[in-house]
Every structure is written in C-alpha cells, then in structure tokens.
Structure 1
Amino acid sequence: MHPTFGRYELLKRLAGGGMGEVYLARQRGIDGFSKLLVVKTLLPHLCEDEEFITMFKDEARVTAQLIHPNICQVFEFDQVGGVYYMSMEYLRGEDLRRLWKACEQKGTPLRVPLICRVISDAAAGLDFAHSLRDNKGEPYNIVHRDISPQNILVTFEGGVKLIDFGVAKAAGRAQHTRTGALKGKYSYMSPEQVAGAEVDGRSDIFALGIVLHELLTGRRLFKADSDVQTLARVRECNVAPPSRLNPQLPPGLDAIVLKALAKDPNDRYRTAQEFRLAIEDWLIQGRMSAASAHLAEFLKTIYADRLDKEARLGPLMGEAPFAGPAPGATPTSKGNNSPGQTPSAPTFEPMGKVAPMGGKSDVTLNQRATPARGEVPDPSRMTTESGAPSWRSRNGMRISVAAAVVAIGAAAMFVMVPAKKPAAPPEPPQAELTLNVQPENATVLVDGAPSAKQFKHKPGQIRIELQADGYVPQVLTSSFGPGSQTVPVALQKAAPKVHMVTISTEPAGSEIYEGARLIGRSPKVWTDASEGEHELTLQHDGYHEERGKVVVAKDGEEFNFKLHKLESARKNQPPDLGIKAER
C-alpha cells in the first residue's frame, strides 16, 4: 500500500528542498478512474506563516489562469492536515539542463533547428504570461524572473513547458527578503535585474536569450568562479556573437541572439512574441526541420534505454515505491465514505464561494453530499474529508482550481503585479540606506545576500560587504536606526597580481622596455610581470624598433616578437653565393 495524502496516493518522492517536497502521485476515482500527477507540498513552518499564505492565495488567483500548451498546468491548490499543496500535470520528460548533459554524454549534440524549436515554444509560453489580463482588461504584469534551463522542460512527446510559476514574491516575504534583494539564478539575470531596478517582460527575454546563446555555443555565457564575478559579467554584458565561439553555426542567428541580449531593454525585442517570430522566420527561410515531432524523435534516441525500461516496468521503473510518511497528518476515511472511495474537492464558483453540492446548499467542507435518487455521483462536486480545520473558516474561501506552482528551492519564479491591489497595512519604520560606493561597479552583499545600493532593512545591526575586481574587499558591520541614511564607502585598490612569463625575440639579445624602464634582454624570464596589459618596446642594433602589447594572465606564458632588419644593414652584408662552410 502506498501512503496517502488527501485523495492522492504518493508513489515516489521526486525532489525536496528548502520550501517543500515533490511527489509522483496517483489520483483515483470511481469506476477505475486513475490519473498520474505531481503533488508539491509546502513545509509545515511555511504553512504557519499567515503573511506567506495570504500572498500565496493572491498569486494563486492569477496563476490559476495560466493555461497554455507551453506552461505546466496546475490543477488544484488546497490543504490536508494543515499542509498546503498543489497538484499539477505529470510531464514525462527532462528539463533542458539535464537534456543538455545527456546529449554530451551520448556524444549527440542537440541540433540547431531543435534548439530553436525549444526556445521558440518557451517564448510562446512567456508571451502568454506577459500579456495576461484580468476580466476587466487590466494587465497582470507577470514577470518570471527565473528563466533558466532548469525551468524549461522538454517532454518525450516533443512538447516544451515552462515550469515553476507563481510564488517568487511570497517566497521572498517568507524569507524576509529585503527591498532590492536579487531573486533568481545570477547567471541568467538581466543587467537591470542585477542592478536591483524594476523589471518587465524584456528581462525574461534577456534570460531566454542567455539560454539560446549557451545552447548554440556549448558554453556558459556569464557564469564565473564566484557569484560576485558572475554578477559583474552580467552588469558589463559583453556578449560575443555565437558564431565567433561556434563557427559551424548557420548564418543569421547572431542577429537574433544579440538583439535578445542587448544591454539596454529598449534595444531588445519588445515582446516574447517578436522573439518567437524572429526564430520561426529564420527556420522557415532555412527550410529547417524543427517540428515537435522531430524533437520527440530526437529524445527517443537520447533516452532510448529509459523509455524502454519505463515501458516494461511502469513510471516507477522498478524502483522501490515511496513508503512514507506522508506530509503532515494523513487523513483517514470517515462519515459516509465507502471502502476504497476517495474524497474529492468541492466545486468553486467564480466569486470564490463554495458551490452547493448534491443539490443542497447546507453541505460543509467536511461533510459528504449524498446524491439525489437516480443522480450519478460527480466526484468534482463532492467534499473532501481531510480531517483538518476548514480553510474556508480560516481564510474566507477555498481554491480548488489550478493555482500556482511551488518552487522547491530559493529560486524566484513569477511575480504578479495586479493592476488594482488592496492597500497593504503600514510597515514598521525601517532603515532606508543608500550606499555611495567607489568604484560604482562594486557588488554589494547585505547580510550575505546580493543587494542593490539602495535598500530597506529592519533597524539594528547590518553586515555590508563590498567587492570589486581589482579592489580590496571591505566589510562594514554597524547598527542603523530607522529613516533615510547615506553611507559613503571607498574601496582601496588591490596590489596587482604578478606572474612569471617569458619574452623571446628574433634576434636574441634585444632590449625590452616598458615605457622608459628596461626590463632586460631577450630571452627574458620576467618574474614580476603584473597581471593585465603591457605595452613593450623592443630594440636591437641593425633592426627596426618594434612595439607590441602582451596581456599577462597566468604563470608560464611565453610571448614572441620578431624584429625586422634595417635596409642599410642588409646592404652591408656579403652576397649569398650559395656556398656553405663545411664543419
């Protein structure tokens, strides 16, 4: 027997993280009805945070409407035993990051037309979310803020789905995220996102452009050894055309990618639909085979062994089933439930009221409606018996339609900004800090998390770290009271790193100068060459003076120069008669 969670059998634990857990589950109904889906649960301590739950419900009202072929669909948002959860469609496939790695392991790269298919379909899902409006025609202003290979899923049927919509802002509030704090994966952020500025749909277009660039070149675009370096690269936004890194790319893609990755949002595609059309037009002009059927056939090749095993052994593929315990308190059957019968959720009216069930208006959330004589029981109109306090009594309503997808990590997802938002209660006085930092491109971390240079924080002790390439990092720990305050900080330049390199010339013995300083004669082992660019002058009797640049980056590098003879020196040489001396 599999452990149960409400009306779901938990078959397998798929993942877990700082916010909740993910399970492969089965929903059963009458007459042998059975459906596989995914259940995501919130951790108990988040379910007790009223502020978190309020935000979660607000965003659920919006994400319930994100029904699109390229967005993972969510079926239900509810609670069992005090544990909030949502059920969503079960997608047979892999995220783009794992697909990329599987292709590398197989030695079969993902073909360029199929890369374009994935990105184009992802752009279609983004455009739907960006342009979503309420029933009064007002835009919701949805911005994903965490587009990355991990959040783009490719199904074995050739479909492309965006996943992890919904609770970025709620997650941030639960974790006491400060105003201006960064949300998302640093290496897939836009320059304006890194700067802590307001973002719109064009930030998602930039992130999708990063994914396209990396798939085409096989290299990470902004990822560096540390978060600080990664953020600095995103801020600088120096993007090489993909064809420079992969000369085998067909022509025409560079312009599409670079437009999506423009540093200024005004220079990018205005909408994800424009980005999508640019890719589709390129595919048509090149007569490329890039339908979802082609993508499905490619995945069958990459995952042939897995698909064969799944066909023989089922979705668990022979693995031991989940043995529990189920999240929170597992409800037990009672009341009018017959053996083997699974309770179902009540229906939901447009205005948020629980619909009457079984033709009666006095049925509560913890009762089971008895159908009238001759009426066929409808599982969608039956109540649930979770054994938990009624959510309606605590929150005034219950949502059993599709809601928001819970993120299982600290990653930020979609942030919804409704056109009309109820006034929030006044916040307690906070410290509003403005850091006047030199150099201006320094990266700021507040209490260990990246932050903008202007931020709010609760009064008290704050730890501020400032870092910049070529400067000595500085840490400030001080107490700040409420109100606006400006904090001037000037970082000191760090001593340059030095490396040992070799400078050789033809002919040997040439004098090597940097400015007016004589470094030595070639071949010269330069033991204290500072990291960076050096402009050198090379001189030798009878030869033209040569100037050249070297960029010192690591130990052991060798730089070679060739000097050219003066014409007068050539004339004074004896003629070459083709006679060589014998030794």
Structure 2
Amino acid sequence: MPQQEQSALGIGCLGKYELLRKIASGGMGEVFLARQVGEGGFEKILAIKRILPHLTEDETFVRMFLDEARTSARLNHVNIVQIYELGKEAGVHFIAMEYVHGLDLRRILDRQREAGAVLPPALSLFVIREALTGLHYAHRQTTLDGTPLGIVHRDISPQNILVSYEGEVKIADFGIARAANRISEATGGMLKGKIAYMSPEQVAGKEMGPASDIFSIGIVLYEALTGKRPFEGKTSLEILQAIRRAEVSPPSTIEPGLPPQIDEIVCRALARSPEDRYPDARTMALALQEVLNAEWEMLDPAAELSEYLKEHFPEGNTPTSPPSELAATVVGGEEVPLDTTQLECVPPGEATETETFLEGASSPSRWIGGEVGMTVTQTLAGTPQASDMALPTLVGTPQSRQAMKEPPSSPWKWPWLLLLLLLLPLLLPAGRAWLGEHLRISPSPPTLKTPLSRKEVDRAPALETVPPPRRTLRIVSHPPGATISINGEHRPERTPAEIPDLPAGTRVEILLEKEGFERWHDSRKIEAEGTNELTADLVPIEVPVTIDSEPQGAEVYLDGVDVGLTRQTLGSVTFGEHRVKLVKPGYRSASFTFRVTRRTPLSFVKRLSPLQQEVSIVSDPPGASVILEGVPQGTTPLRLPLPTDRKISLLLEKEGYESAHFEGSVTPGKGELVLTLTPLPLVPLKIDSRPQGIEVVLDQNRKGQTPLVWRGKRGVTVGKHELTFRYAGRTLETRTISVGAEGDNKVVVTFHGRIAVRAPQDAGTVLLDGERNCLAPCTFADVVIGKHQMTFKRVIGGVEKVKTRDVTVEFGQTVEVEFPFFE
C-alpha cells in the first residue's frame, strides 16, 4: 500500500511530514495533525490538509485550488493562518499550514447559545477587530510592480475565524473559497450552512470586492453580539431573499445594553450597497477600537480572551497531551473522534522491530513485523497484565491484521539447540523427545513390524478430545434487513438475526450488505461467556445528482423538501426512488421521478413551459400609456408577454380620457386585448388675477392672459390641472387646481410686493395711488405688482409742499423709497 493511501487512514507519512492523527474530513479533503522533524532535534507541529484523491481528476478544481492556494501563500500576517507549503505526493495535492491550538468561533458561539448567553461584547469586538486587521492586510496586497492582487476571502464565517488559547485570532482557508465552491456544486453542500454569511452581491452572482468580506464579517459580528443571525428564513431561498433586501434590526433591539455606536457600526457594515459600507476593513477596525476604548477598559484584550477560553473550554486546553481538537476547517466536513495512535514512519518493504510502551507498564514488549508498508506503534490502555501480552503489528488494512506474526523465541536458545543437534545420535530416542518438546517438532511415528488388523484398529481406544463450546452471535444493523456472510459464507438470515453454533474462542469475519448502503465488515471473537452481540450502523451510499431547468432559477423540491434553485447539485442523494418538483413563476410546474441504483452521478435537465403569451394591447383611441402591475410599459398599440396562469392588473391612461382598468386573467390563445377610453366631460374655467394681464399656461400647453374664460370646446376636463402664472418673462407661481363637474370653476390670484419708505421721524405724509397713506417712515404691505404713484407731502412754514414719484413693485419683493427733501 502506498504511503499516501495509508495517510488517508491516519497512519503513515505524506512526503516529509509525519501524520499524527486525523482531525476532520469532508467533501474537499482531510485534515491531519502532523509533525515535521529535522536534524539537531528540530520538530514542528503543523496541520496538513490533503485533497481527496478523486478530486485530482477534476482539472478545473485543481487549477482553481492551485491558483488561489499560491495566492494565499503570499500572505504572512499574525491574523491569518500561515501556509507553509503547497505540495503534491503520489498525484495527491496537500497544504502544510500553521497549527492553531484553540477553537473556531462557530464552536464558541454555539456553546454560548446552548448556555443561553452571548460572548461578552468587548471580546466580540476584539475578535472581529483582529479579523478585520487580517482582512485589510490581504485586501491591499500587490505584486512586486504594485499591481493589486485583488484578494477577497469570499467565505468569511465563524467556522473560518480561529481563536487560540493564547488569545490570538486568525482567519483560516484564505484563498480556496472558489475551489471549495466548485466542490459544493458537485456535492450540494454549499447552501446548507454558508449562505447565511453571503453578501447581497454574492447572492446576485455579481463581482465581489473587499466590501463583500466586510458585509460577511458584519454578519458574524451581529451574531457574536446577539446570538442571532441578522438574516433568517425557513428555507435557503428565504435566507437569500433576506440578504438581498439587507433589512437589519439594530443589535441593541435584541441586546438593549449595547452602546449606540455599535448599532451604527453594524448597520453600516451590513448596508445593501457596497458603496455605503466602510471603505476598507481597517476603517471598520478603527471604529471598533474607538468603542472598545470608550466603553471598556481592557489593558490586555488578548489575555482576557485567553482566560475566557480556558475557563469556558477547559477540555481543549491540555498542554501535557496531544491536542484533542484542531482549529482548522474542511469544506463540507465535520470533526471526527480522535484515538491515541502514535505514528512512526518506516520505509515500505522493510521488516521492522517496534517497541510498544504500555501505560502503567515497566517494560516494553517486542515483536518482529514483516508486512510491507507502515508499521505502527500504538499506545494501549488496558489491564495491569497487559505488558505480558503478545502484541500484534498494526498496519492499515484488515488483510495485514490477519497476517500478524507471533513473537519470536529469545535468541539465547539457539546455541544450545545447535549443541543438542550434534549430540542427537547419542540421545535417541530420549533426545528426539526432548527436541520435540523444546522445538515443537512432532516425533516420527514408530515403525510397526507387524501390521495391525482392521479389528485391532477398530478396538484401539480413541484419543479423548474436548470440543470448544458452541455459542450464538446476535447481529443487529441500523437499518435492518442486511444480508449476512460469516467467514465468506453467505447466510440465509437477514438482520436482526442470531447465528448459532459458532465455536467459542474463534474469530469470525462478518460481512453485512444492503442495497443503497456501504458494505460493512468486521472481525469478532466469539466469547465463551457473556453475550455475543454485534451492532452495525450502515452508512448510506450518497450519489451526486444535478438538477437543472431551462430557464434556470426554478425552485427544486426533492421528496417534498425545498433544496434551492436550479442549477442545483445535491451530494447526499441515497439509493432508491426520489421525486422532484420544479416550480418557477410564469411557468408550469414540472415533476418527475428518478431512481438511484448505482454510484454513478446523475444529471437531469427539464424544459419548463411558459405560462404566458404575447398579447397586443390596443386602446381606442390609441396613444394611451400602458401600466402593468404598477410598472410603465409604453403606449398603445403595444405587444406584451402576459402570464396566463394568474390574474394581472393593467391600467391605460390618456389625457382627456378616463383611465381604463383591466383586472383578470388573459385567456390562453387570445392574442389581443382591446380597451375603450371614455372622454372626460369639458367644463368652463375662469381665471383672473391682480393685476390683470398675467400670462397663464394650462397643463404646459394652453396659454392665455388674465382675465380669461375657457368654455365650450375650449373647456377643460374634470380633474386636476396645472396652472403656471408668468409676468414680464418671469414665472411667478405654479399651482395645481381641481376642476369639478359642477359648480363655478373660478381661479383668482393676487401677486403682491411691498414698499418701504425711509425718512427721518415725522418727515411727512405719503400717499399710494392717492388712496392709501401713512406717516413716514412707514411700509405699504400687499401692494399689487406693477407701477404705482407715490405722493409725498410736508408742511414747511405753514405751507404744504408736495412731490410725486412712480414706483414699480415686483412679485414677492420689497421696494425701498427715500422720502424726498423739501427746501
């Protein structure tokens, strides 16, 4: 077995790295805790992410993965998980990356939610501030000639924000989001957990920039502060629609104790338009730091975060033993339970001698292993007499476990055996018996000079043998109904079943098979005492199924469950019959069934029949504006595609006519819709003004001068109209009037100005147009615009003196006049 295949079992090496234990696995690859050793006692603990072998056949995925991994390898920042090497071993690609002893933010938030609490706000702000610092570093990276690299993470979520037990914050999986998304398309896994952190432009399939990462980290900050996501929904589609709308309730509505500055920061980060968000990640980080400085006194936030983790997650912080959790992520994967296997890399093809130290034992047991491949040293926890047991060599396959070697005899016996061979002629037959006892050689049967008769043979006493007891093995499977094979022999029973008459002390090989499930096999020793029972959890076979429609964007229901929009790739479809329903507005629903019987991926494309037809919209008279569902479409005559499966609302409008409405369904096959417009009645309209002679414009096209009357054929229609008044080439006022079907429709307007007379106190009397008077200084208000005559009177020496002056008043203005000087 090649080294790389053994690595997939958690045993062996990958290139120069020793794989210590398997941490996680998923649709994209596997993560191992690994060690790199060198001369002079050099040792480095790191993480290895190995791409699943079958993905190497996907050239597009490999190219995307290599391109983005090379880009992310440029990043060297304290808040980004460092990539050490991008390698390839036996045709399989892998990444050697920094090992973070801690937890991802997803696990921290989940633990807090289970406890009915949230992460302390100060620590939440600190974690997000640190992550923003790493994002800003990545966003502004350039080539050597200064060309921006345009690095965007594209997959910011709590799973990809790692927090170490020392209070460090690091972003993981930088640069492989596009490759991961390709695997999501092949396995149907992406829309299960990642869409809640997408940006509106990401949902719409538009180009993404740094602002997309800022939106995503704003969602993470919202969840850390409140324990809830800002965009929720019962289905993936509802979540996508909520993100597209980007309507957010401030965090303080859920956690009233939060400072108002936090609401401003979160709402700006979650703005629907990228232009309305923070210009870069650093600006948002500075805003968070200002709140931290103003609201909380944190001399060493990293130390406080470290203490918090050690207090609330003590199970993962065990410095005296290998880490039980690796803060690293795998696309579509979940963490797997860890064992206590320690790995020792041995070149293939060599027989090896391996020592195994037992917990609580004073000396090691030794044996020779002759299997080709990797020999493993395994620490065993067991009974006090475990050190006396003969331990087998453990290799990575069941076949190699069956070929285990017995422990050899001690080397000191062989010189004595050689001497006994030389003395053999002198010791026979006693020597032959001694050698048979110590070398386990059966003595030769004695030579019979006289053959025994048949009767003598039959009368000879038989050797007394004690057969082993026979026991029954009960086998249960989940689900039941699996066929059973024992030691390669097919049995008639199906699970659950009891297999009788099995000799105690022997080991049997069990194989369970059920259609649609992986084959399950195990080796079990039949115990002489107690209950012999075996329970098997069968793993369903999952086949990728791609469902598409023409046109795309149809909602996909698989076995009654909404799984997203076409084109949709589902990676977890089990064997058996399944039913699919496609629903898209404007099209007839399409349903079909398919059956999964093999591991081969399936693909289906369904053409949807449109539920609309081309209809000519005609009005009498033509030229009416057409409004469909509140949206202007053009003027009649007009051809429009109209749905035939639901009611529509159509409105036609034309000046001088009553609006025409159509509410209902279009009859299939009917290609024309004719609506007749009813003329509005004409009524008289009188318009006057002070002063008269003001120019009047009705509805921007009909003109006249006050006083005027429009009646008869020149009358106006009932309804609202716009009047504009002009004087001397200047617009004085524009107003909207309502014309009724009955009564006197008359409009009278007055345009005023003011005249202010400036003079010493009691300078004299002022008359305006010989009618209005005042004692200067004074002001004439509400003076009709136009020319006016002013008369000034003053008594000097008992004689009244008079002077006159013409003044022009403008609309809305004040004219200032000096009282004349009298000699």
Residue 503 of structure 1: aligned partner: none
Q: Are residues 1:68 and 2:74 paired?
A: no
Residue aligned with 2:229, SS? coil
* Residue identity matched to 2:93: Y
Q: Is the 8 A contact 1:222 1:233 kept in 2?
A: yes
Residue 246 of structure 2: aligned partner: 237
Q: For the structure 1 residues 305 and 435, does the alpha-carbon distance in structure 2 shift closer, same or farther, using more than 3 Å as the test?
A: closer
Superposition pairs of residues 305-324 of structure 1, within 5 angstroms: 305-307=315-317, 310-316=318-324, 320-322=339-341
Superposition pairs of residues 74-473 of structure 1, within 5 angstroms: 74-105=83-114, 109-172=118-181, 185-289=194-298, 291-307=301-317, 310-316=318-324, 320-322=339-341, 332=348, 445-448=565-568, 465-466=582-583
Residue aligned with 1:140, SS? coil
Matched residues in 2 for 1:446 and 1:75: separation?
Answer: 39
Q: Is the 8 A contact 2:185 2:569 kept in 1?
A: no
Higher strand proportion, which one? 2
Q: Is the 8 A contact 1:19 1:42 kept in 2?
A: yes
* Residue identity matched to 2:310: K
Superposition pairs of residues 8-19 of structure 1, within 5 angstroms: 8-19=17-28
Residue 185 (structure 1) shift: 1.4
* Residue identity matched to 2:567: D
Q: Is the 8 A contact 2:225 2:251 kept in 1?
A: yes
Q: For the structure 1 residues 174 and 297, does the alpha-carbon distance in structure 2 shift closer, same or farther, using more than 3 Å as the test?
A: closer
Deviations 1:267-323 (A, max 9, x none): 11011111111101111222432621111111111123432xx23433259952358
Deviations 1:318-357 (A, max 9, x none): 952358999xxx97499xxxx99xxxxxxxxxxxxxxxxx
Of stretches 46-55 and 84-93 in structure 1, the one that deviates more from structure 2 is: 46-55
Q: Is the 8 A contact 2:34 2:45 kept in 1?
A: yes
Residue aligned with 1:58, SS? helix
Deviations 1:139-174 (A, max 9, x none): 111111111111111111101110012223334456
Matched residues in 1 for 2:198 and 2:92: separation?
Answer: 32
Residue 193 (structure 1) shift: 1.2
Q: Is the 8 A contact 2:161 2:171 kept in 1?
A: yes
* Residue identity matched to 1:13: K
Q: For the structure 1 residues 306 and 165, does the alpha-carbon distance in structure 2 shift closer, same or farther, using more than 3 Å as the test?
A: closer
Matched residues in 1 for 2:338 and 2:166: separation?
Answer: 23
Superposed CA RMSD = 4.0
Deviations 1:197-236 (A, max 9, x none): 1111101101111111111111122132211111111112
Q: For the structure 1 residues 144 and 466, does the alpha-carbon distance in structure 2 shift closer, same or farther, using more than 3 Å as the test?
A: farther
Residue 40 (structure 1) shift: 0.6
* Residue identity matched to 1:301: E
Residue aligned with 2:319, SS? helix
Matched residues in 2 for 1:144 and 1:331: separation?
Answer: 40
Residue 393 of structure 1: aligned partner: none
Q: For the structure 1 residues 155 and 33, does the alpha-carbon distance in structure 2 shift closer, same or farther, using more than 3 Å as the test?
A: same
Q: Greater relative contact order (Cα 8 A, min sep 6): structure 1 or 2?
A: 1
Matched residues in 2 for 1:183 and 1:106: separation?
Answer: 24
Matched residues in 1 for 2:85 and 2:212: separation?
Answer: 29
Matched residues in 1 for 2:347 and 2:55: separation?
Answer: 20
Q: For the structure 1 residues 69 and 238, does the alpha-carbon distance in structure 2 shift closer, same or farther, using more than 3 Å as the test?
A: same
* Residue identity matched to 2:323: P
Q: For the structure 1 residues 305 and 15, does the alpha-carbon distance in structure 2 shift closer, same or farther, using more than 3 Å as the test?
A: closer
TM-score calculated relative to the size of structure 2:
0.41
Residue aligned with 1:66, SS? coil
Matched residues in 2 for 1:256 and 1:4: separation?
Answer: 48
Q: Is the 8 A contact 1:444 1:467 kept in 2?
A: no
Deviations 1:233-263 (A, max 9, x none): 1112110011111112133211111000111
Structure 1: runs of 5+ lacking an equivalent: 341-430, 451-462, 481-487, 495-583
Of stretches 46-55 and 216-225 in structure 1, the one that deviates more from structure 2 is: 46-55
* Residue identity matched to 2:301: A
* Residue identity matched to 2:124: I
Matched residues in 2 for 1:444 and 1:22: separation?
Answer: 29
Deviations 1:466-500 (A, max 9, x none): 568xx9994485459xxxxxxx8969679xxxxxx
Q: Is the 8 A contact 2:122 2:296 kept in 1?
A: no
Residue 191 (structure 1) shift: 1.3
Q: Which has the larger radius of gyration?
A: 2
Q: Is the 8 A contact 1:8 1:26 kept in 2?
A: yes
Q: For the structure 1 residues 75 and 316, does the alpha-carbon distance in structure 2 shift closer, same or farther, using more than 3 Å as the test?
A: same
Aligned sequence identity (%): 41
Q: Is the 8 A contact 1:435 1:489 kept in 2?
A: no
Residue 4 (structure 1) shift: 2.1
Matched residues in 2 for 1:475 and 1:432: separation?
Answer: 9
Structure 2: runs of 5+ lacking an equivalent: 1-9, 326-336, 355-547, 556-562, 571-579, 592-604, 609-640, 648-823
Q: Is the 8 A contact 2:28 2:52 kept in 1?
A: yes
Residue 62 (structure 1) shift: 1.4
Q: For the structure 1 residues 473 and 208, does the alpha-carbon distance in structure 2 shift closer, same or farther, using more than 3 Å as the test?
A: farther
Matched residues in 1 for 2:321 and 2:342: separation?
Answer: 19
Residue 188 (structure 1) shift: 0.7
Q: Is the 8 A contact 1:132 1:142 kept in 2?
A: yes
Matched residues in 2 for 1:303 and 1:436: separation?
Answer: 44
Matched residues in 2 for 1:473 and 1:39: separation?
Answer: 50
Residue aligned with 1:84, SS? strand
Residue 368 of structure 1: aligned partner: none
Matched residues in 1 for 2:181 and 2:644: separation?
Answer: 30
Matched residues in 2 for 1:191 and 1:217: separation?
Answer: 21
Q: Is the 8 A contact 1:119 1:212 kept in 2?
A: yes
Matched residues in 2 for 1:437 and 1:85: separation?
Answer: 37
Residue 15 (structure 1) shift: 0.5
TM-score calculated relative to the size of structure 1:
0.56
